[in-house]
Structure 1
Amino acid sequence: MAEKLEDFNLPLSVVQRIVKEAINENVNISKEARIALARAAAVFVLYVTSHSSQVAQKVNRKTLLAEDVFEALKNLDFGELIKPLQTHLQEFKESHKKKEKATTSKSAEGGGEENAVEEMEEDNEDE
């Protein structure tokens, strides 16, 4: 677990990119506003994670699943976020499957099954 409050900060460059996509391009955002948004997003993530963990614990699981997050969002009255998140999760899964198939077929052509397995394990670690 993080030991310092700063460990919970999201990268400002990521926050800035998300904000720029969400607002009019003619609007500027101050550094203080980016920091405030990054902190708010981090608090939101911790809040939803905590409630998701409670959902998993109620069914005696230690591993959080996407369904736990969806249930927590519903319980926290953020139900409107569930549908878009499910859509993005599905898109992610499909793109990941395509990536795995490409890696597998590339390895089969080169005769290196071990490399394909290593690459898939590296991809899973990144998640």
Structure 2
Amino acid sequence: MAERLEDLNLPNAVVTRIIKESLPDGVNIGKEARAAVAKAASIFILYITSTANTIAKKGKRKTISGTDVIQAIEEIEFDQFLEPLQEALENFKKSQKEKKDATTKRKQQKKDDEEVEEIVCEDAE
């Protein structure tokens, strides 16, 4: 758990980048508004996490899953976020699988290369 209340806040640089990407060019946001958005986002995340944790506990689990977060979004009636969240979760799973497959392929290629090198060394003797 966080030692200080400030530890629960999102990093200002991240919040600023997200806000700037969301606004049209030429539109600025004041320091107070940026702080308010950061605080609201932090509170929202804590609320979703708490709700998802309750869902996980009902399922007799200690780990919150992506499905728990989706159910939490439904439970707190933020249905407009369901589709984008489900898409983001699918994209995340897909990218994780691609990374895993690439790692497996690299390891297999390295193993194959070592076997070929071993055979070449044996033939040279």
* TM-score after normalising by structure 1: 0.80
Q: Over alpha carbons, which structure has the higher Rg? A: 2
Describe the superposition over 1:7-57 as per-residue Cα deviations: whole angstroms up to 9, x where unpaired. Answer: 111111111111112111110112222222111111100011111111122
Residue 80 in 1 paired to residue 88 in 2?
no
The letter for the 2-side match of 1:71 is: Q
Match of 1:30 in 2: 30
- Work out the number of aligned pairs and report it: 112
Residue equivalent to 1:116? none
CA–CA separation in structure 2 for the residues paired with 1:96 and 1:62: 22
Large movers: runs of 4+ above 4 Å: none
1:57 lines up with 2:57 in the alignment: yes
Structure 2 counterpart of 1:10: 10
Matched, 1:108 2:108: yes
Secondary structure (helix, strand or coil) at the match of 1:21 reads: helix
Q: Deviation at 1:91?
A: 0.7
Cα shift readout 1:79-116 (whole Å, capped 9, x = no counterpart): 1111110101111111111112222212222229xxxx
Q: Counterparts of 1:82 and 1:36 in 2: how far apart (Å)? A: 24
- Once the two structures are TM-superposed, the CA of residue 59 in structure 1 deviates from its matched residue by 2.4
Paired letter, 1:86 = Q
Return 69-78 or 102-111, whichever deviates more.
102-111
Following the alignment from structure 1 to structure 2, what is the Cα–Cα distance between the partners of residues 67 and 96?
A: 16
TM-score norm. by structure 2 comes to: 0.82
Distance 2:98 2:31 in 1: 38
Identical pairs, percent: 46
Once the two structures are overlaid, the 10-residue window that deviates more, 6-15 or 97-106, is 97-106
Distance 1:108 1:31 in 2: 52
Flag structure 2 segments of 5+ consecutive residues without an equivalent. Answer: 113-125
